[in-house]
Amino acid sequence: MKHSKITISKDYQIAKVDDRIFGSFIEHLGRAVYGGIYEPGHPAADENGFRRDVLQLIRDIDVPIVRYPGGNFVSGYRWEDGVGPVESRPRRLELAWATTESNTFGTNEFLRWCKQAHTEAMMAVNLGTRGADDARNLVEYCNHPGGTYYSDLRRSHGAEQPHGIKLWCLGNEMDGDWQMGHKTATEYGRAANEASKLMKWVDPSIETVLCGSSNSGMPSFGDWEATTLDLCYDKIDYVSLHQYYGCSDGDVKNFLARSVDLDNYIKTVVCVCDYIKGKRHTGKKINLSVDEWNVWFHSNGAKFEKWSEAPHILEDVYDFADALVVGLMLITLLKNCDRVKVACLAQLVNVIAPIMTENGGKAWAQTIYWPYLHASRYGRGTALQTLLETTKHDTRDYCDVGDVDALAVWSEEDETVTLFAVNRDFEEENLVSLNLKDFPGYVPAEHISMAGFDLHAVNTKDAAPVQPKTTPLPAVERPVQEFSLAPLSWNVIRLKKKA
Ligand code: AHR
């Protein structure tokens, strides 16, 4: 058995966790919308065509914000196609994913769905094939109360009250040549500056997100952020990061260390933001929106019919190893919550998603659903500097990777401390000593864990063996508590203040 030591103190805080760090993403891609959240005629559909079974799985997670409508899709999207009478909406060739878009679901349907899902919208505008004019019109359509062309158009479409969308993405992955309307950093920095300026003139209460790099391996990474930020620093509020990890080489040990890359990526973007802050002699701080993150590789190479509607694409079936990586990525986001204010697990339903559905049939939780749900439900509060002494190992791409990774969140309001921890060791249990001297009266309550599964075990519509197990813990007060983490395990250890 290995040992780790963790010390936490109320005085050593990272930051209050912004709830939006537990956000997600729905794109017009594959079956995320059609057959995912929206399927008129499904036995579980409500009067709007929203699947109630899917809504319930989403409400259980308590998703605070959902990014929409893309993704690569947004870079060719005409938002006007998706509003007004459904029968007169155009069918379009959707070039990002080579499918046909029916536009039977659009902005007002999405906002209506958000209410049912108990979530907020994070809206993206098209800065690929379109620009500042269409972006500011969409803000007027969504957020202006009335008395102007676009606000009255919204009212005529049955949405009397403004939607009040607060967070807006200035395009998507504009650094990538796969993107419709791909731009150089200078072209994009100028376009984003003007779009954000006009959008904020329409509604000064909104916040905007600049597109950072599409992943940490982009050749332009670093320069892209510095150049674009310098061109629009005063006009934007966040810079985005996107990152997916895969394990197509089967090296799970190395895969489990990928969260080290995410940590480096986040810290580098923080440095670039602060470099531009210093260079511009401004007090304004830019925070981070990790608005696409997940594991993505299982579905690579899957075929579908070109120009078909809502095909089965990017339908990764996640295994237990993926759930551990998602847990590690969540711990990494929380560790950096002084600067990461928004994050979106990409995506939410069917497309690289925690929730899967069958057209006309069941909805179920994939393996990665569980760490996401745990983090969202129990990770709200103040993230604490979690001093961790643990044994280390090397992997193919990383040195000195902790056998255990962990982060504690203290909710002063609920009087709880939650320790999220992953044991990366394939064979050995890890006995964690948690120093609680600064938390008198806090006693263990329960240990939720996922462990003991085959690394390739998956959940399907017929069988969902990969589930968390909850073990009640004896409520005995001790200055140092000991918890055992099984080999290859995701752990949520909950402590509560005695009444
Ligand atoms: O989430 C799937 C795709 O990944 C998104 O459309 C794009 O932004 C990213 O490359």
Residue whose Cα lies nearest atom 2 of ligand 1: it is 71
- In this structure, the number of other CB atoms found within 10 A of the CB of residue 470 comes to 11
Tens digits of per-residue pLDDT, 262-321?
A: 999 999 999 999 999 999 999 999 999 999 999 999 999 999 999 999 999 999 999 999
pLDDT at 192: 98
In the DSSP assignment, the letter for residue 76 is: G
- Mean pLDDT of the region 98-125: 98
Residues 6 and 472: their CA atoms lie apart, in Å, by 21
pLDDT at 90: 98
Tens digits of per-residue pLDDT, 33-78?
A: 999 999 999 999 999 999 999 999 999 999 999 999 999 999 999 9
Residue whose Cα lies nearest atom 6 of ligand 1: it is 71
Q: Is the pLDDT of residue 130 over 90?
A: yes
Tens digits of per-residue pLDDT, 402-440?
A: 999 999 999 999 999 999 999 999 999 999 999 998 999
pLDDT at 380: 98
Q: Is the pLDDT of residue 245 over 90?
A: yes
Q: Is the CB of 39 under 6 A from ligand 1?
A: no
In the DSSP assignment, the letter for residue 20 is: G
pLDDT at 423: 98
Q: Which two tokens stand for residue 77?
A: 């999207």
Taking the whole predicted model, whether its pTM rises above 0.95 is answered as yes
Residue whose Cα lies nearest atom 3 of ligand 1: it is 71
Q: Is the CB of 292 under 6 A from ligand 1?
A: yes
Tens digits of per-residue pLDDT, 151-199?
A: 999 999 999 999 999 999 999 999 999 999 999 999 999 999 999 999 9
Q: Is the CB of 294 under 6 A from ligand 1?
A: no
Residue whose Cα lies nearest atom 1 of ligand 1: it is 346
Give the number of the atom of ligand 1 that is nearest the alpha carbon of residue 27. 6
Output 43-50 pairs: Cβ under 8 A, ≥24 positions apart.
43/360, 44/363, 46/116, 48/109, 48/112, 48/113, 48/116, 50/112, 50/113, 50/116
Tens digits of per-residue pLDDT, 347-395?
A: 999 999 999 999 999 999 999 999 999 999 999 999 999 999 999 999 9
Q: From start to end of 263-339, where are the E strands?
A: 287-295
Give the number of the atom of ligand 1 that is nearest the alpha carbon of residue 176. 10
Distance 434 CA to ligand 1 centre (A): 39
pLDDT at 30: 98
pLDDT tier, 499 (very low <50, low <70, confident <90, very high otherwise) = confident
Q: Among all residues, which ones are annotated catalytic?
A: 173, 292
Q: Is the CB of 173 under 6 A from ligand 1?
A: yes
pLDDT at 436: 93
User: Which amino acid, residue 440?
Assistant: P
Give the number of the atom of ligand 1 that is nearest the alpha carbon of residue 294. 1
Backbone angles phi, psi at 204, to 5 degrees: -65, -10
Give the number of the atom of ligand 1 that is nearest the alpha carbon of residue 347. 1
Q: Is the CB of 240 under 6 A from ligand 1?
A: no
pLDDT at 455: 98
Q: Provide the mean pLDDT of the chain.
A: 98
pLDDT at 116: 98
Q: Which two tokens stand for residue 119?
A: 């979530």
Burial class of residue 371, CB neighbours in 10 A (0-12, 13-18, 19+)? buried
Q: Is the CB of 72 under 6 A from ligand 1?
A: yes
